[in-house]
Structure 1
Amino acid sequence: MTKAYTLQEATRKLENYCAYQERCHHEVVRKLKSMRMIPEAIDQITVHLIDNNYLNEERFAKSFARGKFNIKKWGRKRITAELKQRQISRFNIKTALQEIDENAYLETFDALARKRVVQITEKNRLKRRKKLADYLLYRGWESHMVYEKIKELVP
């Protein structure tokens, strides 16, 4: 049996939830539903979190994009897809992607591709190319960049 929360308890719990790490509206609503809060309470708490700056979709999107690029080395396509999955608006996705410096983006892509091509032990040239392509595309790098880099690294 899950604990029943009062509006104040749930609000405090969600303030802490949002203060610990940036969250999107989707995550907050899911958390409140898991706490068995009624729709009116969910709306009220969500409005409170937004009004008190615990919940900010643009800030979340920017932080998410920076983190996934810098730490996980994801490309723009993967970041965009993940943000869409979290129901972030197209405007906020566009704003978030502007957080990524173009030079850093290209340097990271080059370094990632070069590091990966050395790790691939496959002798067959076509299989090597496919493995490198699969790796980079899965990470969300743009296909035109991937195929040009493959021509360069696995001639």
Structure 2
Amino acid sequence: MEKKSFTFDEIKQKLVNYCVYQDRCHAEIEQKMREFLLIDEAKEEIFLYLMKENYLNEERFTRSYIRGKFYIKHWGKNKIKMNLKQKQISEKLINMCFDEIHDDDYTKTITRIYEDYSSKQKGLQEYQKKSKTIKYLMGRGFEYEKINDIFD
């Protein structure tokens, strides 16, 4: 199948729409641009335009990503951080944006998931239930220390 070719302005508009639909990070724009086989100068120009017009804002992306993954998907900070690093977001920016998650919400979420999951473990000794539930929470990206704090 032949690839349709677009003008520079059409590509630029497509990337604007891509950013408007949902906050994006640089790596996602980079990936999207590969589909259009642009020369480096054109990529550069589009990047600068998207940033200048505030379509592309890495901090805003990071903040909305953190809110979504925590408040909607109920991921812990470790899993969120790992996924943001895969999107080439710097650790410094990630840590700065974690203030999007309120500490009491974090504790409540761990407690709620713990109780939900634990209550579904049937026919197990208490310690087996506890260790299985801790493993589950860690798999969702919650820190061992934070999980343990809930029991103390």
Moved more, 102-111 or 14-23: 102-111
> Kindly tell me: are residues 116 and 104 of structure 1, through their superposed partners in 2, closer, same or farther at Cα, counting changes over 3 Å?
same
Q: 1:19 matched to which residue of 2?
A: 20
Structure 1 residue 126: Cα displacement: 4.9
- Aligned CA RMSD, in angstroms, stands at 1.7
Note if contact 1:4-1:36 (Cα within 8 Å) is conserved in structure 2.
no
Equivalent AA in structure 1 for residue 65 of structure 2: F
Structure 1 residue 90: Cα displacement: 2.2
Q: 1:71 matched to which residue of 2?
A: 72
What is the TM-score normalised by the length of structure 2? 0.90
How far, CA to CA, are the matches of 1:99 and 1:124 in structure 2? Answer: 37
Query: Could you report, residue by residue, the CA deviation over 1:56-105 in whole angstroms, capped at 9, with x for unpaired residues?
Result: 00000000001111001111111111111111122320222011111111
Structure 1 residue 125: Cα displacement: 4.5
Equivalent AA in structure 2 for residue 91 of structure 1: K
How far, CA to CA, are the matches of 1:31 and 1:122 in structure 2? Answer: 50
Note if contact 1:61-1:93 (Cα within 8 Å) is conserved in structure 2.
yes
Q: Which runs of 4+ in 1 moved over 6 A?
A: none
What is the TM-score normalised by the length of structure 1? 0.89
Taking every aligned residue pair, what percent have the same amino acid on both sides? 36
Note if contact 1:75-1:140 (Cα within 8 Å) is conserved in structure 2.
yes
Query: Could you report, residue by residue, the CA deviation over 1:8-56 in whole angstroms, capped at 9, with x for unpaired residues?
Result: 0110000000000000000001001022222222121111100100000
Q: How many residues align?
A: 151
Q: 2:63 matched to which residue of 1?
A: 62
1:52-131 alignment runs, 5 A limit: 52-131=53-132
Structure 1 residue 135: Cα displacement: 1.2
How far, CA to CA, are the matches of 1:122 and 1:146 in structure 2? Answer: 23
How far, CA to CA, are the matches of 1:122 and 1:47 in structure 2? Answer: 59
